[in-house]
C-alpha cells in the first residue's frame, strides 16, 4: 500500500521523536551499555586470540577485561599523582592570578572609564547570583555522578556478556531476517565490528602520540606540569572540535600565570596548533584512517545532538555509533542515499558511482567528479 508523502514524513518525525525521548529517558542505563558495546568490540580480538589458543571463552573474556582495567588503573594513578603535585602549587597560582587580575582592572579603568570599585561590585553581583543557584546545581551534579558511578560498575558485566553472547546476538539478527539475507547480516555485522575496532584502536594510539607531542612541546617551553597538561589535552581530543579548544586553554592559562613573558603563552598556543595540524593531516588519516567515514557537517550535527541528549558522554559516543550506523545505511538499498549524504567526500564519490551505476571512462572521470 502506498501512503501520501505527508503521512510518511509524519511517521519519520514520530519515530525520531520516540527514539530521542527513549535516549533521554533511559540515559542512565543506555550510556554505560553503549560504552560497554564499544569496549566489547575493542576487546573482542584479544579474547578471540586467546580462544583460538584453547583458553575457555569465559576465562579469555575475564583476562581481556583485567588487561583493560590494569591499563585504566595505571592512567588513573598517573593522573592522580600529577594532580596532587599540581594542587601543591594552587596557593602560588592564586597569588599570581590576583596580581594579573589587578593589572587587568587597571587597564579597564584607564581605557574604558570603569572604576575598579564598579568592576568589583559587578563581579560580586555575578558571584552572588551564581552562588544562589549553586545548591541545586551541586545537588544535581552529585546525584547524577552517583547514579553514573553506580552504572559504571556494570560496564565490565556488559562487556563480558556482549562478548560471550556475540554469536547468539548474530543469530538473533539472522532469525528476524529472511534466509536469503543471512549472508548480508554476516557482512554487515562484520563490517560494523571492524569499523568500531579500527576506530577505537586508532583513537588510543592517536591519544598516546598527541600526549607525547604535547608534553615535549610544553616541556621545551618550560611550562609547569607540562606532562599533565599534555596528557589532559590529548584525552580531551576525544571530543571532536570542542575538545581541542578546551585542551589548549589549560597550558595557555598556566603559561600566563607562571611566566611574565607573554611569548611563552603564545608558544603554548603554537604547540597546540602545530600538534593539531599534524594530527588532522598526518596522524589521524594514517592511524584512524577512514574507519568512521562521516563528513564534518554530519559530525558536528552528531556532536550537537549527542551533547543535547547525553551531555559529554553523547559527544564522545555518538561519533563512532554514527559510523557504525553508516555501515548499515550503505548496505540497505532504500537507505543508501542517507549514507551517501553523511559520508566523506571520497566515500561519497564511491557510493554515488555504485548507487547510480555510473561507468566512467578515464578521460571523463575528472570531469564527472
Around Cβ 327, how many Cβ atoms within 10 Å? 21
Give the Cα separation of 268 and 252 in Å (integer).
6
Q: Three-state secondary structure along 79-116? A: HHHHHHHHHCCHHHHHHHHHHHHHHHHHHHHHHHCCCH
- At 198-208, the pLDDT tens digits run 888 888 888 99
Is residue 348's pLDDT more than 80? no
CA distances, 360 to each of 9, 23, 264, 353, 356 (Å): 35, 44, 54, 9, 12
The residue that leads in pLDDT, 152 or 13, is 13
Residue 217, C-alpha cell as written in the block: 612541546
Give the Cα separation of 274 and 298 in Å (integer).
25
Give the Cα separation of 295 and 290 in Å (integer).
10
Give the Cα separation of 307 and 69 in Å (integer).
27
Is residue 42's pLDDT more than 70? yes
Q: Which residues pair with 343 in a beta bridge?
A: 294
Phi, psi of 153 (to 5 degrees): -60, -20
- At 233-254, the pLDDT tens digits run 998 887 766 778 888 888 998 8
Q: 131 pLDDT band (50/70/90 cuts)?
A: low
- At 60-79, the pLDDT tens digits run 999 999 999 999 899 889 88
Residue 367, C-alpha cell as written in the block: 570531469
Do 224 and 207 meet the contact criterion of CB atoms below 8 Å apart? no
Q: Look at the chain and count its residues.
A: 369
The residue that leads in pLDDT, 35 or 107, is 35
What does the domain layout of the chain look like in residue ranges?
A: 1-90+151-164, 190-290, 292-369
Amino acid at each position: 500500500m502506498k501512503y501520501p508523502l505527508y503521512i510518511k514524513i509524519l511517521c519519520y518525525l514520530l519515530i525520531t521523536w520516540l527514539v530521542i525521548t527513549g535516549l533521554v529517558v533511559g540515559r542512565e542505563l543506555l550510556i554505560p551499555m553503549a560504552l560497554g558495546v564499544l569496549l566489547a568490540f575493542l576487546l573482542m580480538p584479544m579474547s578471540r586470540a586467546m580462544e583460538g589458543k584453547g583458553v575457555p571463552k569465559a576465562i579469555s573474556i575475564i583476562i581481556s577485561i583485567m588487561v583493560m582495567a590494569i591499563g585504566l588503573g595505571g592512567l588513573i594513578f598517573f593522573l592522580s599523582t600529577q594532580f596532587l603535585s599540581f594542587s601543591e602549587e594552587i596557593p602560588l597560582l592564586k597569588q599570581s592570578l590576583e596580581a594579573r587580575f589587578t593589572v587587568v582592572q587597571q587597564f579597564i579603568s584607564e581605557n574604558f572609564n570603569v572604576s575598579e570599585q564598579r568592576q568589583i561590585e559587578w563581579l560580586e553581583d555575578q558571584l552572588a547570583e551564581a552562588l544562589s543557584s549553586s545548591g541545586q546545581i551541586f545537588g544535581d551534579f552529585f546525584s547524577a555522578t552517583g547514579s553514573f558511578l553506580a552504572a559504571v560498575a556494570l560496564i565490565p558485566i556488559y562487556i563480558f556478556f556482549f562478548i560471550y553472547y556475540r554469536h547468539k546476538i548474530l543469530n538473533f539478527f539472522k532469525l528476524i531476517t529472511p534466509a536469503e539475507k543471512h549472508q548480508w547480516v554476516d557482512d554487515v555485522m562484520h563490517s560494523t565490528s571492524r569499523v568500531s575496532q579500527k576506530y577505537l584502536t586508532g583513537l588510543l594510539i592517536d591519544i598516546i602520540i598527541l600526549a607525547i607531542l604535547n608534553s615535549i612541546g610544553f616541556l621545551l617551553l618550560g611550562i609547569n606540569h607540562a606532562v599533565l597538561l599534555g596528557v589532559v589535552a590529548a584525552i580531551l581530543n576525544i571530543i571532536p572540535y570542542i575538545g581541542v579548544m578546551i585542551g589548549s586553554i589549560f597550558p595557555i592559562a598556566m603559561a600566563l600565570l607562571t611566566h611574565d613573558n607573554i611569548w611563552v603563552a603564545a608558544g603554548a598556543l603554537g604547540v597546540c596548533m602545530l600538534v593539531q595540524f599534524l594530527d588532522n593531516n598526518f596522524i589521524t588519516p594514517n592511524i584512524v584512517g577512514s574507519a568512521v567515514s562521516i563528513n564534518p557537517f554530519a559530525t558536528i550535527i552528531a556532536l550537537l545532538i549527542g551533547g543535547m541528549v547525553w551531555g559529554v558522554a553523547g559527544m564522545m559516543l555518538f561519533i563512532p555509533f554514527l559510523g557504525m550506523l553508516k555501515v548499515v545505511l550503505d548496505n540497505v538499498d532504500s537507505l543508501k542515499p542517507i549514507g551517501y549524504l553523511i559520508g566523506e567526500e571520497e566515500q561519497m564519490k564511491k557510493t554515488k558511482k555504485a548507487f547510480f551505476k555510473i561507468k566512467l571512462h578515464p578521460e571523463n572521470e575528472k570531469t564527472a567528479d
